[in-house]
């Protein structure tokens, strides 16, 4: 039994698999809300998030730092893209265009400098900035978001943070960005002083 990142390897494997499945299973409440007409996902937004996840996953693959959470997030984002084609809304907001441009910039930088870290960094920054409209919307009306889904996303983040094998960009940036986004959402959904 080897050690990597301070944890026995079998525990790391179990937690990364749990993190990936939690991220995937958290999408079920969201998908049911889409089918029931309670949520209308933006096609553009989910295509962008799916693209960003692919860039980060690819960069992590080339750096040998893939974890279950980014795999689950990528599969999940493209699953929502499929549902958004039938049930979602069309159109591109300014934020969508900015995020798409950031994703393209990440790919270009990666190709020019032959450095997957640039793709990971650029895409992670864009994902963080791209979450701001969701934060604002949730601040105004937390009932538009599913608490169960976001709690599962957050637990997935906890699992992934605990098993970061190396505190470098390739291994730690994606889990830290995801943890930051989900933690803000947990605050907005459960502690939000506007609705206490």
Task: Say yes or no to pLDDT of 3 above 70.
Answer: no
Q: From 167, 55, 73, 66, select the one nearest 118 (Cα to Cα).
A: 55
Q: Do 4 and 165 touch, CB atoms closer than 8 A?
A: yes
Q: How many folded domains does the chain comprise?
A: 1
User: Helix 43-62 and helix 94-113: axis angle, to 10°?
Assistant: 20
Q: Is residue 97 part of a domain?
A: yes
**Domain membership flag for residue 4:** no
Identify whether 14 is part of a domain. yes
Gap between the Cα atoms of 92 and 47, Å rounded: 11
Domain with 154, as residue range(s), is 9-191
- Answer yes or no: is 2 within a domain: no
Eight-class DSSP state of 195: G
113 band by pLDDT with thresholds 50, 70 and 90: confident
> Could you tell me if residue 127 is inside a domain?
yes
Picking from 78, 26, 32, the residue whose alpha carbon sits closest to that of residue 52 is 78
In a domain, 172, yes or no: yes
Q: What's the confidence (pLDDT) of residue 79?
A: 95
Q: Tokens representing 119?
A: 């793709």
The mean pLDDT value for 172-187 works out to 95
Average pLDDT estimate for 90-100? 80
pLDDT in tens, 118-158: 889 998 988 888 888 888 888 888 887 889 989 999 999 99
> What is the SS3 assignment for 7?
strand
Residue that the structure tokens 């996303």 belong to: 153
| Percent of the chain surpassing pLDDT 70 | 94
> What CA–CA distance (Å, rounded) separates 156 from 166?
18
Report yes or no on 186 lying in a domain.
yes
What integer is the mean pLDDT of 148-170? 94
Nearest to 43 by CA among 92, 100, 98: 92
pLDDT value at 178 more than 90: yes
On whether residue 1 sits in a domain, the answer given is no
| pTM of the model as a whole | 0.85
């Amino acid at each position: 039994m080897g050690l990597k990142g301070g944890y026995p390897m079998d525990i790391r494997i179990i937690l990364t698999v749990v993190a990936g499945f939690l991220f995937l299973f958290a999408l079920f409440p969201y998908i049911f809300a889409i089918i029931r007409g309670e949520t209308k996902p933006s096609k553009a937004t989910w295509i962008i998030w799916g693209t960003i996840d692919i860039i980060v996953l690819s960069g992590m693959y080339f750096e040998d730092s893939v974890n279950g959470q980014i795999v689950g997030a990528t599969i999940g984002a493209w699953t929502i893209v499929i549902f958004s084609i039938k049930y979602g809304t069309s159109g591109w907001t300014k934020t969508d265009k900015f995020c798409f441009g950031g994703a393209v910039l990440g790919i270009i930088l990666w190709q020019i400098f032959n450095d997957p870290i640039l793709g990971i960094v650029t895409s992670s920054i864009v994902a963080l900035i791209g979450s701001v409209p969701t934060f604002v919307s949730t601040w105004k009306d937390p009932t538009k978001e599913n608490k169960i889904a976001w709690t599962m996303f957050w637990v997935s983040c906890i699992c992934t943070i605990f098993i970061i094998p190396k505190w470098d960009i390739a291994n730690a940036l994606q889990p830290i960005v995801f943890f930051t986004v989900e933690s803000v959402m947990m605050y907005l959904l459960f502690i939000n002083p506007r609705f206490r």
